[in-house]
Amino acid sequence: MRRTLVLILGTVILLNGCTMVPKYKRPSAPIPGSWPSGDAYPAQQMAPATSNVTQLKWQEFFTDPKLKIIIETALHNNLDLRIAALNVEKARALYGISRAELIPTVNADGGGGEQKVSGEFVGPGVKRTSKAYDVNLGIAAWEVDFFGRIRSLERQSLEDYLNTEEARRSAQISLVSSVANAYLALAADRENLALAESTLQSQTSAYNLVQRQYTLGVANKLDLHRAKTPVEIASRDIARYKQLVAQSQNALDLLAGSPVPEDLLPSDLASVRPLKDVSPGLSSDVLLRRPDIMAAEHQLKGAYANIGAARAAFFPQISLTTTLGSASNELSGLFKDGTSTWLYGAQATMPIFDARTWFAYRVSKADRELALAQYEKAIQTAFREVADTLAVRGTVDQQVAAQQSLVDTADETYRLSNSRYAMGIDSYLGVLDAQRALFAAQQALVYLRQAKVANQVNLYAVLGGGVEYSEAAETSVIKKFFRLFRI
């Protein structure tokens, strides 16, 4: 009966134990409620979002089938992502350990022995040799979490676990965007390589023409050397772009975790299918769903829980001990009637003076302020990243259009310079200058087109897209652990 009362009392105390964790309220975001406006931010790009970017899967955003295969390979092979996943598993196990502190640990032990006592300590007729055997089942020094110290530590461990889970999601978003940008960089380098090879062919043909004219005495030696200059420049650029192509492919292979087959590599930017358009919407609150910001918030919540544990350290710690067993002086009689034993007891430890407790409390409050500053900084950094990306988005089309017009003008200038040289009106210097301007304009156009598509990828990433998330996911994790460690 007494044992039953003790167990009932302990359960009631545990289920009704208080907590000293300060009430958490999400801090106000230290950023404007809307995105920047001005000449670099056209109003049409701030239209209301038609869907939640954070729930737009990367398989839907990226429409190119080859790029999808490479991303899938990277998600399977990349070691950075694997390390992040293993950190999540470790944090989950640590949370299980913290949660298990709320449950009494039941141990079984048994022992036996024989002892001979000196004749100086026993009277006549008393046996000098004694035997003792016992077996027990019980709970040793189980702390009753009356003031919520263990619950506070358990909550902190849960927030640490959720923090690492968000870090894994952030690493996945980073990996997906990095693979896409490496894929686009390789496409741009290959396109510039093809442009350099095409330029070399045309310049070689022009040089051969000038060389024949020089042989006939129509062209002078200066024109011959001038005609050879763009040939050498194109040859140099071909070698340089071959190097860039190889380096871009090495970067893509590293991200993918294995060599990417040639049939999956892009030939140029035009071969890459367009991406799905995304919009940040009207409000900057979308940033609060970014994994890195959610991770910072979990870290802040964990700091709140740590304050609760530090506060609970000022109050008594109550522990219970109880055992049921059997004891006998013969091993064969260990489980006979009349050999049963039991023990129960409680102990309370009240801190009177311990300076470490006060300093630990001050440290916990400083940790909360530090976590708050890191949370606010994460939001401000995210806002700046989105604002920069929107600035590029609002101006890159104008840059591409202007650069395309420049390429058309340079191409016409090159054509006219060639005609004037052929008619003997101008020297070959004008042709050379026009050719250099055309080649540089064509290269710049390729990189601007790459920047436009890469900016779409970056906008998707900085808005937190790439990993589907639901607020119910966090709740399901907590419920799963409560079912596992039901008390």
Number of neighbouring beta carbons within 10 Å of residue 344: 16
In angstroms, the CA 28 to CA 34 distance is: 14
Give the Å distances, CA to CA, from 474 to 28, 299, 469, 471. Answer: 22, 15, 9, 6
pLDDT in tens, the chain (487 residues): 455 445 545 554 544 456 788 898 999 989 998 888 888 887 655 555 555 677 788 899 999 999 999 999 999 998 888 888 888 888 888 888 777 777 778 888 888 788 877 766 666 766 767 778 888 887 777 777 778 888 888 888 888 898 898 889 899 999 999 999 999 999 999 999 999 998 888 888 877 877 887 787 777 788 778 788 888 888 898 999 999 999 999 999 999 999 999 999 999 999 999 998 888 877 888 888 889 999 999 999 999 998 998 888 888 888 888 888 888 877 777 778 778 888 888 888 888 888 888 998 899 999 999 999 999 999 999 999 999 999 999 899 999 999 999 999 999 998 898 888 777 777 777 888 888 888 899 999 999 999 999 999 999 999 888 665 545 445 555 555 445 444 3
Question: Strand 340-349 and strand 106-116: pairing?
Answer: unpaired
* 400 falls within a domain: yes
In angstroms, the CA 97 to CA 485 distance is: 10
In angstroms, the CA 451 to CA 177 distance is: 13
* 372 falls within a domain: yes
Cα 337 to chain center, whole Å?
A: 63
Predicted confidence at residue 486, as pLDDT, reads: 44
Predicted confidence at residue 7, as pLDDT, reads: 54
Ramachandran bin of 125, using left for φ above 0, alpha for ψ from -120 to 50, beta for the remaining angles: left
- Structural domain that includes position 455: 2-105+132-484
Predicted confidence at residue 11, as pLDDT, reads: 53
In angstroms, the CA 127 to CA 117 distance is: 9
DSSP SS3 for 339: coil
Predicted confidence at residue 47, as pLDDT, reads: 57
Burial (0-12, 13-18, 19+ Cβ within 10 Å), 461: buried
In this prediction the pTM is 0.81
Number of domains in the chain: 1
Name the packing angle between helices 149-216 and 221-256 (round to 10°): 160
Name, in order, each residue with C-beta under 8 angstroms of 351's C-beta and a sequence gap of 6 or more.
Answer: 313, 314, 315, 316, 357
At position 384, the amino acid (one-letter code) is R
Residue 236, domain CATH: 1.20.1600.10
The answer to whether 472 and 445 are in contact (CB under 8 A) is no
Burial (0-12, 13-18, 19+ Cβ within 10 Å), 96: middle
User: Cα angle vertex 373, ends 372, 374, to 5°?
Assistant: 90
* 126 falls within a domain: no
Number of neighbouring beta carbons within 10 Å of residue 6: 17
Residue with tokens 């399901």: 476
* 116 falls within a domain: no
Helix, strand, coil shares, percent, the chain, to 5: 65, 10, 25
* 65 falls within a domain: yes
* 37 falls within a domain: yes
In angstroms, the CA 47 to CA 42 distance is: 10
* 125 falls within a domain: no
Predicted confidence at residue 8, as pLDDT, reads: 46
At 113, phi and psi to the nearest 5?
A: -175, 170
- How large is the C-alpha radius of gyration of the chain? 37
Give the Å distances, CA to CA, from 157 to 91, 99, 148, 236, 298. Answer: 8, 8, 14, 58, 10
In angstroms, the CA 63 to CA 271 distance is: 12
Predicted confidence at residue 99, as pLDDT, reads: 76
Predicted confidence at residue 43, as pLDDT, reads: 62
Please count the residues of the chain. Answer: 487
* 475 falls within a domain: yes
